Amino acid sequence: MNTSNPRKIYGVFEFTSQVKSLLESNFQDVLVEGEISNLTASSAGHLYFALKDTQAQIKCVCFRSKARLLRFQLENGNQVIVGGNLGVYELRGEYCLYAESIKPLGDGTLQQAFEQLKSQLAIEGLFDVERKKSLPLLPRTIGIVTSPSGAAIHDILRTLSRRHEGIRVLLFPAKVQGKGASEEIAAGINALNSISDVDVIIIGRGGGSIEDLWAFNEERVARAIFSSNVPLVSAVGHEVDFTISDFVADVRAPTPTSAVELVVSKKEDLLTQLDHFENRLRRVLQLLFSKRRNRVFELSANRFFTSAQSRIRSHQQWMDELTFRLQMSSKEALGTWKNHWNLTIDRLLRCDLQRIVDLKRDALKFWGERATTRIHFVLQEAKGRLSTQTAAMRTLSPQSVLNRGYAICRDSDGGILRAAQRLQIGDPFSVTLSQGRIHGRTECIETTHTVKENQ
């Protein structure tokens, strides 16, 4: 007799759950190298693909929250290293690798991401020269987005104090490398744009590796620069360093120090230039004044000018005479109108306005009484005609005819019967009397013939 314990029988879900537990607990934070194939993207932004080599393949999923952080565009055939956690999709009993990071194999990972984003933004027009804004000649307020503890801000302030100490500086402190740096740089650009008196913005940092400068290659920083309404200068790294922000900005400066030199002219240079312009303007005005003075002397010596002076004096005398005549005629006209006004006032004073008002009131009363009498007469006449017509209507109404003993016969459809032939034996009909209605059925039909006389 076999007394050994029977083998355990698993349910499908129970078995899959145990496999899931074993796999997920033993394959966390793994790195898998392979080639991308069957890449698809869902409408929600999740990426689904297979990672394969010459002997096997594994399904992979990169959710949107991780996919949006990728620094290059995934394509079928890419050789990559996927970092993530192994998981089991219980509904289908399949295991897959949930990607947390994806990096291309070999050198040039960041450079590949840089070139891909640069090409994309160039196609969208973010680098177009036509949209770039000119820098102001002498800004009153400069906004700066950089690290408050970095060398860039010290170089900027030192150069600014040397070139023009009267310019106001607004610093938006931001991380310039590492996690969260691109968000802070974009936030700084947007914040300085919201301040109305900022004339120009400088963003940048000192030199470093491509990894150190990568925040200025992020898409969010590029789009913040493109959306800026204030002219913006990108001053990132050294002269040999180029970032995406350099291409999008209105002006690219090789270093933070040169950015200040581009934005702010040296005070001594401005004063020298102003002195130069002042001397040129003085010489031009002196030459112009000398030419005009000589011309005046020439005109004053001309015979026509002498005769013109005589004619001007004559016209002045004639104008004086016309002015005197106008004053005299104005006084005469004013006296005439004054007499006419006084005469009109006397006439008004002699007029008995109260008597005129009384006469008008009596006339108005007379015509009012006459109109009242006429209206009363017309109303009485209309009332009599209305009574006559009402009596006639009552006499001719169907109800009056019924009251005299007549009746109205109707068929089953309610139509009025004028001939007995319209009914058949057994058809229902109704008879409307002066008071009430009678319903019945046809038992006998008698017809009469009416002979029409020829006229």
Using the predicted structure, report yes or no on whether residue 418 has a pLDDT greater than 60: yes
Query: Under a CB-based contact definition with an 8 Å cutoff, are residues 278 and 168 in contact?
Result: no
93 three-state secondary structure = coil
Region at 445 (left for phi over 0; alpha for psi -120 to 50; beta for the rest): beta
- Residue pair 169/197 in contact by the 8 Å Cβ criterion: no
pLDDT single digits (tens) 63-101: 998 888 887 788 888 888 899 998 888 778 788 899 998
Which pair of structure tokens corresponds to residue 303?
Answer: 């015979």
Strand stretches in 242-346, DSSP E: 251-252
Q: How confident is the model at residue 394 (pLDDT cuts 50, 70, 90)?
A: confident
Mean pLDDT, rounded, for 336-348: 81
CA distance 77 to 294: 88
Tokens of 375: 């209206």
φ, ψ of residue 143 to 5 degrees: the values are -95, 135
- Was domain 12-106 assigned CATH 3.20.20.80? no
- What distances in angstroms separate CA 455 from CA 54, 376, 449, 451, one per listed residue? 122, 52, 18, 12
Only one residue has tokens 């006449």, namely: 381
CA distance 153 to 205: 8
Asked whether 228 and 201 are in contact (CB, 8 A), the reply is yes
**Pure H helices in 164-241:** 181-193, 219-227
Separation of first and last alpha carbons in the chain: 135
Using CA atoms, how far apart are residues 255 and 33, in angstroms rounded to an integer? 40
CATH topology of domain 127-265: Rossmann fold (3.40.50)
Query: What pLDDT does 26 receive?
Result: 81
**Rounded percentage of the chain residues whose pLDDT exceeds 70:** 91
3-state secondary structure of 244: helix
For the chain, which residues make up each domain, given as ranges? Answer: 12-106, 127-265, 352-384, 396-455
The alpha-carbon radius of gyration of the chain (Å, integer) is 55
Q: What is the pLDDT of residue 106?
A: 56
The pLDDT tens digits for 239-262 are: 878 899 999 999 999 889 889 888
- pTM tops 0.75: no
Q: Please tell me the predicted confidence (pLDDT) of residue 165.
A: 74
Q: Which of 105-119, 263-277, 292-306, 395-409 has the lowest mean pLDDT?
A: 263-277
Strands of the sheet with 200-205, listed across from one edge: 168-173, 141-146, 200-205, 232-236, 251-252
Joined together, the tokens standing for residue 89 give 């999709």
Cβ atoms of residues 244 and 216 within 8 Å: yes
Q: How confident is the model at residue 267 (pLDDT cuts 50, 70, 90)?
A: low
Residues 138-197 pLDDT 10s:
888 999 999 998 888 988 898 888 887 778 999 999 999 988 999 999 999 999 999 989
- Scan for tokens 């001397």, then name that residue: 279
> What distance in Å separates the CA atoms of residue 237 and residue 446, rounded to the nearest whole number?
125
Nearest to 53 by CA among 79, 34, 77: 34
Residue of 78, 76, 80, 72 lying closest to 119 (CA atoms): 72
How does the average pLDDT of the chain come out, rounded? 83
Q: Look at residues 251, 240, 243, 218 and name the one whose alpha carbon lies nearest to residue 129.
A: 251
- Helix-then-strand count for the chain, H and E: 12, 13
